[in-house]
Amino acid sequence: MHRTTGRLADGREIIYYDEAAPRVPPADPRELPPAAAATDLRFDPLLREWVAITAHRQDRTHLPPPDLCPLCPSAPGRPTEIPAASYDVVVFENRFPSFGGGRGRCEVVCFTSDHHGSFGGLTARRAGTVMAAWADRTAELSRLPHVAEVFCFENRGPEIGVTLDHPHGQIYGYPFVTPRTRQLLDSARRHRAETGRCLFTEVLDAERRAGIRVIRSTGHWTAFVPEAARWPVEVHLYPHRRVPDLPALDEAERADFCDLYLDLLGRLDQLYDAPLPYVAAWHQAPARSDRDLSYLHLQLFSVRRSAGRLKYLAGSESGMGAFVNDVVPESVAARLRDLG
CATH number, residue 264: 3.30.428.10
Contact (CB, 8 A) for 92 and 107: yes
Which residue type, as a one-letter code, is found at position 50? W
Domain boundary among 155, 179, 203: 179
| Active-site annotation holds for 191 | no
Lowest model confidence (mean pLDDT) among 18-27, 233-242, 248-257, 262-271: 18-27
| Host domain of residue 316 | 182-338
Indicate if 243 and 105 belong to the same structural domain. Answer: no
Per DSSP, what are the bridge partners of residue 16?
Answer: 4, 90
Indicate if 293 and 321 belong to the same structural domain. Answer: yes
Instruction: Using pLDDT thresholds of 50, 70 and 90, give the confidence band for residue 75.
Output: very high
Give the Cα separation of 146 and 49 in Å (integer): 17
Indicate if 80 and 195 belong to the same structural domain. Answer: no
72 belongs to an annotated ligand binding site: yes
Dihedral of CA 91/92/96/100: which sign?
positive
Indicate if 77 and 143 belong to the same structural domain. Answer: yes
Give the Cα separation of 31 and 34 in Å (integer): 10
Q: Map residue 155 onto helix, strand or coil.
A: strand
Contact (CB, 8 A) for 112 and 119: no
Domain boundary among 135, 157, 179: 179
Contact (CB, 8 A) for 69 and 112: no
Instruction: Using pLDDT thresholds of 50, 70 and 90, give the confidence band for residue 325.
Output: very high
Dihedral of CA 105/106/109/114: which sign?
negative
Nearest to 111 by CA among 280, 269, 308: 280
User: How do residues 27-39 score in pLDDT, each as one tens digit?
Assistant: 999 999 987 667 8
69 belongs to an annotated ligand binding site: yes
| Residue tagged active-site, from 2, 56, 62, 168 | 168
Indicate if 154 and 227 belong to the same structural domain. Answer: no
